[in-house]
A and B are shown apart, each in its own frame.
Chain A
């Protein structure tokens, strides 16, 4: 035993130090594991993360102005908007040059559309000017100031130039300001006009109604999950199918079914009138408003609450309850002090799922929400597909994403994310 070295590094069978050998083995393990998940990782990166990041990037990207009108943007840098005087001839000459180039590439209307989001009228201003600009002779040396003002009187207004100057930065906070009912103006950020403020209200409504829906799901889902977890397997399976059937049914079908149920000439109102609970001329209005959205979305999201609750409740030993009772607890005390605390992880998981799904909901509020029950996502959809103001849509989406992350973080601080169990 005396030939064993006791002070040098421990060696592996092949003579290398054990520490290094172990590190190499672990590295190989890790590489292999990484290789195994690589296809998924690359897939997620390409199909999920990159598109999201590039979409979010649009919320600040404003390079279209300088890319399309480089000379005008440069010339406008020296113009003092507060002077009260129109820009000088060089700015107009630069505009003529940019317009001619843009019109030949058919880009003038695109930037007109961009600026029209800020101020009505830019769309036709650029369309009209671009049409005339194709015939400009840039080397003639004639004064473009008079000519452009003659083409469209708006070029003779200081307001037009102020807006051009304000929105000529490459990266703008304008979309984010718009998203919170403010606007970027020559005098800094200001509140949006009273009659155009709607988005903050919609954000607030989205949060509030999602909370209500989550609360309703907890109230309705908890007893169902409890019954599911405590019935004998045969009955429990049958009940489970009743929970899962709607879960497997198309969202659109379920939403349309609610329409048939809830409308004024619908099933619920008809039954209530038939039973004599309400008069025929005072039928309940429970659709095309917030009530409709809450009812339909609670129903649609209920399985997302029941399933995590059920899987947690299944693991709670019934013997704990019996033990509590044998020690003298009433039914209520046994439930509240022993059973309920153990089921909280299920409530937590269900609430997170339901809440996060709810704040991004689009189709159900659109169909049953009327004007008082629509969410911020309906505005995002509008700006993506109808107004084409993708910058604003991206800003709204970023804010929604940030709100979810903050709530998630707050939840982690208060309840602890380790307490969430999906099964």
Chain B
């Protein structure tokens, strides 16, 4: 009996100590991102200035690829250890749907542009979910080996499907998103009708039939680093990946790779704040995103990586690469020369149809 009491007392004490410890945690925060060059760019553009300004200690965690599943598990265990999480827009929508992310009011919680434009207007259409604070615009697009395409460099996305002119393997992401749209587009569907066609069973069959024409020449990738590596090894002639990965292969590693911007698929990446943080931690997280998503900070990130800032007001401030000294603007997916023909990925359509199409896509892959 006495033993039980002592045990309970110590447990209670430990718990109190734990809570008291958590209350002081507001000057330490865990920020989750994708790792590699991307986290490095955030470290330089956001974390370091913020730590200098406030003295807060920022801990980096490279778990964004698993963020949705982990946040759900943390929520169920009632122990959320992350303060700010970097996710793609579709994941942000999912987290918002599940009630796992904090809803954000851009005009009160985010900084205005220097000229006084409200944040909601500065971000504009990019605020695709109530919980999502956009940070960059990136694109999934194609790179090709300049020395393996002869003297005819590919100019349209449909060259991916042209095995006669460009023999050899190509790498595509192992998921239906983007690939299905490109397939329909190259099968003659008008850009505006893609999702209407894809919404029917016949449309799905049509897209898969188009992909069938190159199926045995495709290497499927799951990690963004794979295509640049496959291109560097000469394993594939062309392949899709995130534009920043191709930029670093071309500009930083001098690989013989060219960019094919046609029908690049725009996507967004940004912050969410997990729902259910303690008030101190939530206040800290909000303070951080207010700082990190202002006009100057977003423009600063583009010094380190070729992703376009999500604010309209940041675009004119994009300067030169921090180490290479080259002008970054022409390497942005949003640059007018690159964005002549872009594919806008429909988030809400995919939120509805992803499960269904993924099952069909996987069944097709296994055939």
Q: Report the nearest A residue to B222, measured CB to CB.
A: A366
Q: A121-B352, A123-B351, A384-B69 are in contact. Are A370 and B98 (CB under 8 A)?
A: no
Q: Which A residues form the contact surface with B (CB < 8 A)?
A: 105-107, 109-110, 112-113, 116-117, 120-124, 127, 195-198, 201-202, 263-266, 288, 366, 370-372, 379, 382, 384-389
Q: Is the interface of B mostly helix, strand, loop or mixed?
A: helix
A388→B98 CA distance, assembly (Å): 10
Q: Report the nearest B residue to A110, measured CB to CB.
A: B98
Interface assignment of B356: CB less than 8 Å from any CB of chain A: yes
Rounded to whole Å, the gap between the CB of A113 and the closest CB of chain B is 6
A107→B360 CA distance, assembly (Å): 28
Rounded to whole Å, the gap between the CB of B272 and the closest CB of chain A is 14
A105→B353 CA distance, assembly (Å): 25
Given A113, A120, A379, which contacts B98 in the complex, CB threshold below 8 Å?
A113
Most buried by B among A122, A371, A387: A371
Given B233, B354, B360, which contacts A265 in the complex, CB threshold below 8 Å?
B233
A366→B174 CA distance, assembly (Å): 11
Contact B97 A389 (CB under 8 A): no
Given A113, A197, A372, A386, which contacts B363 in the complex, CB threshold below 8 Å?
A197
Contact B355 A387 (CB under 8 A): yes
Most buried by A among B174, B205, B235, B355: B355
A371→B222 CA distance, assembly (Å): 11
A379→B365 CA distance, assembly (Å): 13
Given A107, A123, A371, which contacts B220 in the complex, CB threshold below 8 Å?
A371
Rounded to whole Å, the gap between the CB of A79 and the closest CB of chain B is 25
Give every chain A residue within 8 A of B169 (Cβ-Cβ). Answer: 264
Interface assignment of B155: CB less than 8 Å from any CB of chain A: no
Contact A112 B97 (CB under 8 A): yes
Give every chain A residue within 8 A of B97 (Cβ-Cβ). Answer: 109-110, 112-113, 123, 127
Contact B219 A370 (CB under 8 A): yes
A266→B235 CA distance, assembly (Å): 9
A121→B365 CA distance, assembly (Å): 24
Contact A202 B366 (CB under 8 A): yes
Q: Jot down 29 A-B pairs with beta carbons below 8 A, ordered by A.
A: A110-B99, A116-B352, A117-B355, A120-B353, A120-B356, A121-B353, A123-B351, A123-B352, A124-B348, A124-B352, A127-B97, A127-B348, A195-B204, A195-B205, A195-B363, A197-B363, A263-B235, A264-B235, A265-B234, A266-B233, A371-B365, A371-B366, A382-B358, A387-B354, A387-B355, A387-B358, A388-B68, A388-B69, A388-B98
Rounded to whole Å, the gap between the CB of B72 and the closest CB of chain A is 7
Contact B355 A120 (CB under 8 A): yes
